[in-house]
Amino acid sequence: MNKNQLLILSPTHVQQNDVLTIHAITGVFRDTGYIIKNESGHVIRKGSIACNLLEFKLRIVGIQSGVYKFIMGDQQEIFQVV
C-alpha cells in the first residue's frame, strides 16, 4: 500500500453490475467529488458523496470490461471491470 494512500477500492477486479466499495483509510473522505476515467482518459462517471462518510458503494452498471481509474481529490486508484 502506498504510504500516501487515503482510500481503498474493494474489490479491485469487479464484475459488471456488481458493487465497488470505496473506503477511507484515515476516517472520513477529505473530498466529496469523484471521477471514473477509462484507459483513454475519458470521464465515464462523475459524482459526489455526502460529507462525513467512512465508505460508500458504487454499482458498476453500464461500464464495459477494462481498466479504470477512480479519482477522488489527489488520490487515484486503479480497478478492473471483468
Residue 23 to residue 6: CA distance in whole angstroms: 8
**Residue 22 vs residues 18, 27, 32, 48, 74: alpha-carbon distances, Å:** 13, 12, 12, 13, 15
- Can you give the residue ranges of every domain in the chain? 7-81
What is 7-81's CATH superfamily?
Answer: Macroglobulin (MG2) domain (2.60.40.1930)
pTM for the structure as a whole: 0.89
How does pLDDT run across 12-45, given as a tens digit for each residue? 999 999 999 999 988 888 889 999 999 999 999 9
| Spatial contact of 31 and 73, defined as CB atoms under 8 Å apart | yes
Percent of the chain with pLDDT over 70: 94
